[in-house]
Amino acid sequence: MTALSVNVNKFALVRNARGADLPNLIDISNKCLNFGADGITVHPRPDERHAKFSDLEPLKNLLAKFENKEFNIEGYPSDFFVKKVIEVQPNQVTLVPDPPGALTSSFGWDCRENKEFLRDIVSEFKKNKIRVSIFVNPSIKTLENLEVIQTDRVELYTYDYAHNFTENKDTAIKSYIDVSTYLKKEFPKIKLNAGHDLNLENLKFFLENINNVEEVSIGHALICDTFEYGLEKTIKKYLSLTKIK
């Protein structure tokens, strides 16, 4: 079974649009968890157009009221980001290589070029008992130096899979299966997450073919589905796909 972490960034974007507190991010996150989500993900960017750094502590306090629910914070590991994450102590931090003005996460780390940088950042978080995942492209070539970096997990960037799914789903998923197989063989202690553009149409096939995904983080598609089905029914629909044994 795979954990479903709801990325609430777009709820925060709507809130910020009017400079008020509607929808309230804590209330929305609380509903997601009560409706069965396994965790909450946020990605506070430098311009704070989505989740704000001031949201992190209240979200951590909310998660503390639940058993077996996890808080995941994504972001580029600037000095400021690292400081804030260590202060908040989430269950997991997901490191992405986004430049400051990026619209969304659109590529993974090059573990060869960023070997020392990632090694040092990962070590700092692990010293503070925070599980670390790094965002990677679906290519074995990008996974050089994992034995040096020592991350706990990698998150597969699933845009290519989602983008090509309707054209040829078997071709779309091939590189992801290759990476999954490689990790199982070469780095069995490193667990696998996945995220980006996964939705009700393509999620089931992905999880059926890659059966070692620990967690999927889904935001944009889930929020779009909420307009049609409502939040509770939408989360139940996603859980019906992630909880298949």
Q: Which residues are part of the catalytic machinery?
A: 43, 74, 196
Residues 234, 22: contact at Cβ < 8 Å?
A: no
Report residue 65 CA to chain centroid gap.
Answer: 21
Which one-letter DSSP state was computed for residue 231? H
Q: Which two tokens stand for residue 135?
A: 């965002």
Cα-based torsion angle of the residue sequence 53, 134, 197, 67 in order, rounded to the nearest 10 degrees = -60
Distance CA(91)–CA(35), nearest Å, equals 20
Burial class (CB in 10 A: 0-12, 13-18, 19+), 78: exposed
Residues 195, 155: contact at Cβ < 8 Å?
A: yes
